[in-house]
A = this chain, B = another copy of it.
């Protein structure tokens, strides 16, 4: 991979994309509430929200957290334009106090602070990933935009990690979902976060330019079908690698084609002139990068054409790259293609045919990728689009953003649906590691509790399960969140996509394989401290100052 731009330029470019998120891109009710807070003179009250999701996606045992960089750039640039404010004036009730709009015009995030899990970390359901504190009205206004920036980024990044696990570590994965994404920005987001999740490259050229992601891609069927005759091949000569005078490439290929058809027992009557012309023309344009799609008509006619052109390239000392298969039973076809490559290698003494690459691209899903590891096949590189970027199995992560504290008092939402209840109060989150260095539990404590000590037993209440008291002695304790935004300033490096990808790989490597199983993974324990558990019980019973029942007060 190569790019023409240094990382500074790229960072600028990236910011210029990211700052497109205007603060008006939020739900109207945020403004309705902000006005009600302002009207009650509560808008400056210190408040804290936290962002989390309730279930690991795709029935899996983990997720990857992503979207943080976009959130930080969004927060740094948060300000309403005059036009924004005039629009809000037109949709809020006519009797809204005009001073509220003056207030909106002056708003920014200079009083907001955020702590967060680093981008690309392995995370689990119900762990607060982002804690946002600041004036009540401002942190309320941020809700929808932050959710929008984290939800899909984390989902598609986690999906990519699963595809990577399914594919195994050595098979190369190309993301090519732009045409099936939710519009242009959805496509860019998909390319960025699938790379972070473990893909090797993208077909999305803009993502390559903006994020420095390696780009990949050769030809579509339309290229093949656009040719109908050898007369369209131009120029008709190709200079050998070592230099010298151009060789008549058409004659060279035709000679090779007869031998190939003879070797393979192919009927030359089935060779399509247009397909052969397309391959020749592409080889002349890309003699070092020859990798055509060979099933525009059928593999049985595309493969001999490829072999003939590739052999002609070898004759001129070029190294053809391989082929792409885009339909039918990829496993079966790849075996046949490899067999032919080996036969050619032997017959024509071209050892480089042994290492030709076979790319497979045909509605690849996590399941079909996993199958590649079970069935015999010779596919080296897989291109994935639709199922990856749309996250077919579960197209939404369902992150939520919940109020946990106002004016130093813990707040909690109860609900008719128990899983919609929240955990009150400001918290610290610790990842407890076992003696092998594997994460064994995420522990959510109130922020004023002492940090758990390695080697010392502690009591906690696992969430989800039967909430019975459990005792655990961590071998190591790490704090999961960092201060990333303090009083309007980004205090955390805006990582490049490559850096976040590395963080994801490290974080995934630490996780025990039992939690990474794609089917029926072992549950990872997320627990609350005894004190947090007591606070929840108190609030449920109405015994907490923060949740008075009306007449018991």
Contact = CB atoms under 8 A, between A and B. Distances in A.
Given A42-B232, A216-B28, A411-B226, A273 B549 contact: yes
Given A185-B184, A219-B36, A220-B33, A176 B289 contact: no
B25 A217 contact: no
A93 B271 contact: no
Most B Cβ at <10 Å: residue of A182, A190, A204, A218: A182
Contact of A286 (B88, B93, B188, B281): B93
Interface string A69-103: 00000000000000110111111010100000000
A481 interface: no
Interface string A56-71: 0000000000000000
A275 to B, nearest CB: 9
A475 to B, nearest CB: 38
A552 B229 CA distance: 12
Contacts of A403: 221-222, 225-226
Nearest to A150: B179
Interface stretch (A414-422, A428-436, A494-502): A414-422
Contacts of A22: 206
Contacts of A182: 152, 156, 181-183, 185-186, 189-190, 389
A222 B204 CA distance: 39
Given A25-B187, A416-B328, A271 B205 contact: no
Interface residues of A, number: 143
Contacts of A216: 28
A72 B176 CA distance: 24
A41 interface: yes
A471 interface: no
A208 B402 CA distance: 25
User: How many monomers of this protein are in the complex?
Assistant: 2
A83 B179 CA distance: 23
Contacts of A551: 268-269, 271
Nearest to A90: B4
Interface in A140-155: 140, 143-145, 147-149, 151-153
A27 B87 contact: no
A548 interface: yes
B25 A148 contact: no
A274 B185 CA distance: 41
Nearest to A287: B95
B222 A87 contact: no
Contacts of A93: 286, 288-289
A176 to B, nearest CB: 6
A406 B549 CA distance: 77
Nearest to A176: B27
Contacts of A47: 226
Contact of A152 (B186, B288, B409, B545): B186
B136 A226 contact: yes
Contacts of A156: 182
A360 to B, nearest CB: 13
A542 B299 CA distance: 16
Contact of A415 (B89, B149, B295, B412): B295
A178 B148 contact: yes
A547 interface: yes
A26 interface: yes
A409 B228 contact: yes
Interface in A391-428: 391-392, 395-399, 401-403, 406, 409, 411-417, 420
A205 B47 CA distance: 24
Contacts of A203: 27-29
Interface in A243-291: 268-274, 276, 281-282, 284-286, 288-289
A226 B136 CA distance: 9
Minimum-distance CB pairs A-B, first 4 = A185-B185, A182-B186, A29-B217, A182-B182
